[in-house]
A = this chain, B = another copy of it.
Amino acid sequence: MRRAPLTRERVLAAALELADAGGLESLSMRKVATALGVEAMSLYNHVANKEDLVDGLVDLVFAEIDLPVPGAPDWKGEMRRRAVSVREVLNRHRWAVGLMESRMRPGPANLRSHNAVMGCLREAGFAFRAAVHASSLLDAYIYGFALQEASLPFDTAQDHAEVVEAKQAAVPDLTPFPYLVEVFTEMARAGYDYATEFAFGLDLILGALERAQTK
C-alpha cells in the first residue's frame, strides 16, 4: 500500500485533528508524524518548525470564519453574523482562542478577515479611528467570551453546569463568599446558556456602538 506523498496541507490537516482532539499541549511534531505514518524529521521538509506549523493551523481556523461584507446595507447584521461565526469556529477549535491575535506572521485568511471587518465598518460610515475602536472592542469581547467558554478541561466533554459543580466541590468553605453561594446554587438550578449570554453582550455592544456613531 503506497502512501500519499507528504505535503504542507496534509501535515496541517493531521495537526489540526490532533489539536482539536487533545488541545495544544497534546500537539507534538512526533505525534503529527506518527499520525501520518512518517518520522518526525520528515515534517521539517514541509514546515519550518513548530511555530510555523501553528501559524498554519491558525490560518486554517481564520478561513472558517463567515466574513462580513463591506458595503452591505445592515452593518450591525454583518458584524453580528461574523461575531457569531467566530464564536462557533472557536468552539470547534478551542486550543486556538489564545493564538488568533498573536501571530507575528498573519496568514492570508487572517488578513482577509481583518480587512473585511474594517471594510464593513468604514463603508458603514465609521471614521477611521471609530472603526478601530469598534473592531478592537468587538474582538476583545468575542475572544474574551470564547476564552471563558473554552476554559473547560480538554479531555472531557462536560457542560457548564458540571464544571461549575466540580469547581464548587474543590472549594473547602464558601461561607466567606455569600454572593458566590448564590451563583453556585442558581447555576445548578437554572443552568447557563452560553449562546444566549453571548448574544446579550454582543447586542448591547452593537447597540452602544450605533448610538456612539450617530450621536
A179-B136 in contact given A166-B104, A170-B105, A171-B106 (Cβ < 8 Å): no
- In the assembled complex, A122 has its CB within 8 A of some CB on chain B: yes
Using Cβ atoms and an 8 Å threshold, which residues of chain B touch A179?
70, 115-116, 118-119, 122
**B-contact bits for A62-99, CB 8 A (1 contact / 0 none):** 00000000100000000000000000000000000110
Binding stretch for chain B, among A1-9, A14-22, A38-46, A205-213? A205-213
**B-contact bits for A117-153, CB 8 A (1 contact / 0 none):** 0110010000010001100110111111101101111
Contact at B209–A204, with CB atoms within 8 Å? Answer: yes
The distance in angstroms between the C-alpha atoms of A115 and B179, with both chains bound, is 5
By CB atoms of chain B within 10 A, which of A114, A140, A142, A209 has the most?
A140
Of B102, B137, B142, which one neighbours A204 at CB under 8 angstroms?
A: B137
Using Cβ atoms and an 8 Å threshold, which residues of chain B touch A122?
179, 182
Using Cβ atoms and an 8 Å threshold, which residues of chain B touch A163?
104
Query: How many whole Å from A113's CB to the nearest CB in chain B?
Result: 10
How many residues of A are in contact with the other chain, CB < 8 A?
Answer: 59
Give chain A's interface secondary structure class. Answer: helix
Report the nearest B residue to A70, measured CB to CB.
B179
Query: How many whole Å from A62's CB to the nearest CB in chain B?
Result: 13
Contact at A148–B137, with CB atoms within 8 Å? Answer: no
Report the nearest B residue to A192, measured CB to CB.
B132
A197-B133 in contact given A153-B104, A177-B115 (Cβ < 8 Å): yes
A201-B151 in contact given A115-B180, A167-B104 (Cβ < 8 Å): no
Query: How many whole Å from A67's CB to the nearest CB in chain B?
Result: 12
Closest 5 CB pairs of A and B: A144-B144, A102-B151, A140-B144, A115-B177, A118-B179
User: Chain A residues in contact with chain B, CB under 8 A?
Assistant: 70, 97-98, 101-106, 111-112, 114-116, 118-119, 122, 128, 132-133, 136-137, 139-145, 147-148, 150-153, 163, 166-167, 170-171, 174, 176-180, 182-183, 186, 192, 197, 200-201, 204-205, 207-209, 212
A-B contact pairs, 12 of them (CB 8 A): A104-B153, A104-B170, A111-B177, A111-B180, A112-B177, A115-B177, A122-B182, A133-B197, A137-B201, A140-B145, A140-B201, A204-B212
